[in-house]
Chains A and B, each alone.
Chain A
Amino acid sequence: MHRLEEIWLALSAGILVVFMVIVGYQGFALGMGPPSNMDTVDPQKVDETEPFDEPGVYKRGENQYEVIMTLQAFSFNPGDIEVPAGAEVTFTMTSKDVTHGFQIAGTNVNAMVMPGHIQKITHTFDEPGSYLVLCNEYCGTGHQLMSTEITVK
């Protein structure tokens, strides 16, 4: 091997290792890991299973909320959510039919919501405004209509 090639490869390996360290640090030390909830639910009995038998917005603490949400072709339930500015909101979601995606445009909220699995993701809404929530995984003819809004006051 040539000297230069050795240097190049050592640098490459070094950069990749640093990259891994950063990803690992953010994930495990800063709690910025990707949404990876492990709970499950019978996808054919979502409506009868707690907590999805009563979807809605629940206050869980001082400016802390939990949204229990079901996704189905082609809507989010509940839709048109309102929370105060600064609210920390945890979305607990599952799908009643096919795979959907849960994305809030302009934020880092993005998670796959699949039948049989309960997905969770938390976000703090600091800026007031109207946030567009949309489904970002193709789920059928009406996929482009599957959206709602979160209003932060």
Chain B
Amino acid sequence: MAKPLRDIIYDDPKKMFGLNQEDARIAKSYLSVAFITLLIGGILGLLQGLQRAGLMELPAWLNYYQVLTAHGILLILIFTAAFTIGYLYSGFSHTIGGLLPKVRKLAWTGFGLILIGVVLVVATILANEASVLYTFYPPMAASPVFYIGLVFIVLGIWANCFGVFINYNHWRKNHKGQVTPLFAFFTMGVFVLWFFGSLGVTYEVLTLIPWSLGWKETINVMVSRTLFWSFGHTLVNIWYVVASSAWYVALPKIVGGRLFSDKLARVVVILLVILNIPGGFHHQIIDPGITETVKFLHVFMSVSIAFPSLMTAFAMFAVLERAGRRHGGRGLFGWFKKLPWGDVRFLAPMIAMIAFIPGGAGGLINTSNQINQVIHNTLWVVGHFHITVGVSVVLTFFGICYWLIPFISKRKLTLQMNKLGIIQTITWTVGMILMSGSQHLVGLLGDPRRTSYTTYGDHETALSWIPYEYVMGIGATLLLLGVIIQVYAVFNMMFFAPKGETEFPIGESEDDESPTPLWTERWSLWIILMLMVVAMAYVIPIVDFVVNGPPGSPPIKTW
């Protein structure tokens, strides 16, 4: 139920006046970094798409693998992190009534650390000292500066994690007996995952630094790879929790409906936090040195993530159906037509959610031991994550921009901007269908990922892939167009759109919904459970790699 104005002023005076200037500045800075990064990453993406199809040659000073390393790191690490922090910090500040001054300081410290890290990483990639791709599997060794840059980025993210933890506890102390606002709960879930999920990879990077400096002779390749994926996969679910915060919290309000169930949303977050980290093993299904039994256990652990996702699918359909019927939709599918298709704030996340159906099914395929052998390291995988990250997550991020940015910059979403947003959404969707679709198909035929243009000495099998690669190039071109429109829209809404008040859409519960139980807030318990699951998944294989592992590998530079 909507609170009377008097109560809002009484509870959270700051909420009345929108986001305060200081918190808005934090959000704007992070979001600016996010979209500048997207622009650069998108341009690199197009270069890849065209180079691979043999439609274009790169200049002598820039090789394909430098481009690919930068594309991977900029987009999946920097773009998503900067967007997530900008978005969650605004919503967090908004729903709990402003950030504490020391939390603001942490956010700015994090901002500085991340920028330093990005400069170090990008400089080493440009100098061709770090063409190791975003996975930086040893024994391929980059310049130590690259790893040091990564440490700065992680520290920057941690600063933001601590900020959220501090502010969350502060709110709980001052609101005894109350559950936190749902948006704040999602925020907490994301930053808990980020912190714990990045511990393993941080340890890995800290071991790579002395090794790349020559202070330590060899490295255990399997341990490094496994620690990397414990993070790599967690990152995927971090995006997914971020995106679903908008699906659960904002979307019901945008479609003029109510929340499905506050409690169910929290249970989904808790499940994702607890179950997530072991999923990383599905990236190692055809690795040596891990027994089939352990691999089978991990298929189970990966598949269990599908369960909260299916809960989400149900909840979203229920919200949309109820909203459609409330607006007069009749019959089995009448409600579907009553949804606000012409509103980009709805259309973009809706397509994102629909994309999660093939995306999720593809994920199940990838994680099953046998089919994984068909598609592992082929372009199928690239198609898979461009549809999951590139559509389900990124298109949700794009949709969020159309209310978040006017909200923080105290401006309005104009009708023209809405129209541009619709055009952007369609461009992106068509581009991704072409690019990701052709990647899926040609991947089934065996075309490997992470490989610059080649015909393998005109082998007929490789020649048969080329038509698909053309389609990939066309999709990539549309996607860059989409990126340009989006970046324009973001900066226009941030600095030039007409002044005004825009609402941060927060869905309300149904009138008859029972109150959310307080036990959902027991984060210490969720963290302990998460660590137990991590221990179940990782202790046996890691001990095995260390105790029964081969002698290590020295650093090698093959580019």
Q: Is the CB of A28 within 8 A of B292?
A: yes
B452 contacts the other chain (CB 8 A): yes
Encoded as 1 (CB less than 8 Å from any A CB) or 0, chain B from 89 to 133 comes to 000000000000000000000000000000000000000000101
| B288 contacts A35, C-beta separation under 8 Å | yes
Question: A42 with B63: in contact, given A36-B292, A103-B448, A138-B450 (CB under 8 Å)?
Answer: no
Question: What range describes how many residues of B lie at the interface?
Answer: 35 or more
Contacts of A38 in B (CB 8 A): 288-289, 291, 548
- Chain A nearest CB from B186 CB (Å) reads 21
With a 10 A CB-CB cut-off, give which of B300, B376, B550 has the most chain A CB atoms: B550
Q: Does B310 contact A (CB under 8 A)?
A: yes
Min CB gap A134→B, angstroms: 6
The number of A-B residue pairs with CB atoms under 8 Å apart is 212
Contact of A108 among B287, B373, B377 (CB under 8 A): B373
**Contact at B222–A103, with CB atoms within 8 Å?**
no
Residue B342, interface by CB 8 Å? no
Q: Which residues of A contact B65 (CB under 8 A)?
A: 138, 141, 143
Residues of A within 8 A of B558 (CB): 73, 97-98, 139-142
Is there an interface contact between B459 and A13, defined as CB atoms closer than 8 Å? no
A27 at the interface (CB under 8 A from B): yes
A36 neighbours in B (Cβ, 8 Å) = 286-292, 295
Closest chain-B Cβ to A116's Cβ sits at a distance in Å of: 3
Contacts of B552 in A (CB 8 A): 43, 116
Q: Which of B254-308 contact A (CB under 8 A)?
A: 284-292, 295-296, 299-300, 303-304, 306-307
Question: Is A19 a contact of B553 with CB atoms below 8 Å?
Answer: no
A39 CA to B364 CA, complexed, in Å: 29
Q: Write out the residue numbers on chain B whose beta carbons fall within 8 Å of the beta carbon of A105.
A: 445-446, 461-462
- Do residues B364 and A136 form an inter-chain contact, with CB atoms below 8 A? no
Q: Mark B536-559, 1 if CB is under 8 A from A, else 0.
A: 000000000000111111101011
Report A137 CB to chain B, min CB distance, Å.
Answer: 6
A5 and B306: CB pair below 8 A? no
Which of B133, B140, B286, B311 contacts A34, CB < 8 Å?
A: B286
Most interface-central of A22, A103, A144, A145 (chain B CB within 10 A): A144
Q: Looking at the complex, which one of A34, A98, A114 makes contact with B369 (CB distance below 8 Å)? A: A34
State whether the Cβ of A124 lies closer than 8 Å to any Cβ in chain B. no
Quick check: B451 and A143 within 8 Å, CB to CB? yes
How distant is A139 from chain B, measured CB to nearest CB, in Å?
Answer: 6
Pair A132/B307 contact, Cβ less than 8 Å = no
A-B contact pairs, 21 of them (CB 8 A): A8-B310, A9-B310, A27-B369, A34-B292, A35-B373, A36-B288, A36-B290, A43-B550, A99-B225, A105-B462, A109-B373, A111-B288, A112-B284, A112-B286, A114-B288, A115-B221, A136-B448, A137-B137, A140-B131, A140-B140, A143-B452
Q: Which residues of A contact B (CB under 8 A)?
A: 2, 4-5, 8-9, 12-13, 16, 19-20, 22-24, 26-28, 32-38, 40-44, 73, 97-99, 101, 103, 105-106, 108-119, 130-132, 134-145, 147, 149
- For the complex with contacts A9-B310, A16-B306, A40-B548, 13 further pairs of A-B residues with Cβ separation under 8 Å are A16-B307, A23-B296, A23-B299, A37-B288, A99-B139, A105-B445, A105-B462, A106-B445, A112-B284, A112-B287, A112-B288, A138-B451, A144-B64
